[in-house]
A = this chain, B = another copy of it.
């Protein structure tokens, strides 16, 4: 791809370099090769510029570098421009229109003509599989499920009965959509009586779900993952939750039932969200934290249980010296006891 075209497609401008130079790939500073375009987004990595083998680099509008043998592309957001470059060099592979002879597709299923369905895939009764859907081998689509156009479903995925997956989604390996919610009532004999889980899960468009993630259906009603949400690996989404548009949920985070995660919320890794609460739009919960209360829009919270991130930073700094603090308090108490004793003896002297 010519440098000029690359600039155009990534909304950047060529500051240095022949417009018709060939750029053949994109990679990070440390592993880029001759012909690649790379990027600098974090000043922490500036030293790597000295040694990179890349031929071109995306820089923000102010960055100045010493190397004169690298083409420079100026972009408002170098990371975004680099992402666009990667997407140009590595477009999504084309569908190979086919249904493997070992796939078991129920006759009642409504399957578009343009799908690619791999070996040993099972598609249940009355399913609807949209245009350009790709299903990798050994995935299972239960009865009455719907898969929207252009969606990719990897091996080992289960989409359970009545669930609906939107268009342009990616479900990585072993994702489970629509397993039973975890709900029991306690009987008079203190045993657990299963609450039927007959609701469903709706995953809207442009959602990506990481490997091994499990999304439970509602008991009655639905669990909903809204458009543009991104969910990492091994995440647990409880029954009747709603994940709003463009929320980002990192690996191993878990949500109990009936909670709502607002738009563009970021839940970092291994976060826990209790049931029946709302995390407001644009809030961030940092890694390993947990909240059992609702969170206002735009807040950044940390800790178990989570509170304001800046206060938390102060608390954890003090926590490292908590043993000393306890000692200091004991020390002060002793000194006080001495003062009180002295005072008392002074008074006694006066008496």
Binding site for B on A (CB under 8 A): 25-28, 31, 77, 79-80, 82-84, 86-87, 89-90, 100, 102, 104, 118-120, 122, 136-140, 142, 154-156, 158, 160, 170, 172-174, 176, 179-180, 182, 184-188, 190-196, 198, 208, 210-212, 214, 216, 219-221, 228, 230, 232-234, 236, 238, 246, 248, 250-252, 254, 256, 264, 269-270, 272, 274, 287-288, 290, 292, 303-305, 307, 311, 314-323, 325-326, 328-329, 332-333, 335-336, 339-340
Q: List 10 A-B contacts (CB under 8 A).
A: A79-B185, A82-B185, A84-B193, A87-B195, A212-B234, A233-B236, A269-B274, A311-B320, A315-B320, A328-B333
Given known contacts A104-B100, A185-B79, A251-B182, A138 and B136 CB-to-CB distance under 8 angstroms: no
Cβ contact of A179, chosen from B87, B185, B233, B290, cutoff 8 A: B233
Cβ contact of A184, chosen from B248, B319, B336, cutoff 8 A: B248
Rounded to whole angstroms, the CA-CA distance of A254 and B317 in the bound complex is 24
Rounded to whole angstroms, the CA-CA distance of A211 and B216 in the bound complex is 9
Interface pair B316/A305, CB less than 8 Å apart:
yes
Rounded to whole angstroms, the CA-CA distance of A269 and B290 in the bound complex is 10
Q: Nearest chain-B residue to A307 (Cβ)?
A: B320
Q: Nearest chain-B residue to A180 (Cβ)?
A: B172
Contacts of A83 in B (CB 8 A): 184-185, 193-195
Interface centre among A139, A155, A316, by most chain B C-beta atoms within 10 angstroms, is A155
Cβ contact of A104, chosen from B79, B104, B137, B246, cutoff 8 A: B137
Interface pair B315/A182, CB less than 8 Å apart:
no
Cβ contact of A86, chosen from B156, B173, B179, B220, cutoff 8 A: B220
Rounded to whole angstroms, the CA-CA distance of A252 and B288 in the bound complex is 12
Interface pair A137/B160, CB less than 8 Å apart:
no
Contacts of A292 in B (CB 8 A): 287
Rounded to whole angstroms, the CA-CA distance of A122 and B326 in the bound complex is 61
Contacts of A120 in B (CB 8 A): 102, 104, 120, 122, 138
Interface centre among A84, A140, A238, by most chain B C-beta atoms within 10 angstroms, is A140
Rounded to whole angstroms, the CA-CA distance of A238 and B233 in the bound complex is 9
Given known contacts A193-B83, A246-B190, A322-B318, A232 and B332 CB-to-CB distance under 8 angstroms: no
Interface pair B287/A288, CB less than 8 Å apart:
no
Contacts of A208 in B (CB 8 A): 180, 194
Contacts of A194 in B (CB 8 A): 83, 87, 208
Rounded to whole angstroms, the CA-CA distance of A256 and B233 in the bound complex is 11
Interface pair A31/B220, CB less than 8 Å apart:
yes
Contacts of A316 in B (CB 8 A): 304-305
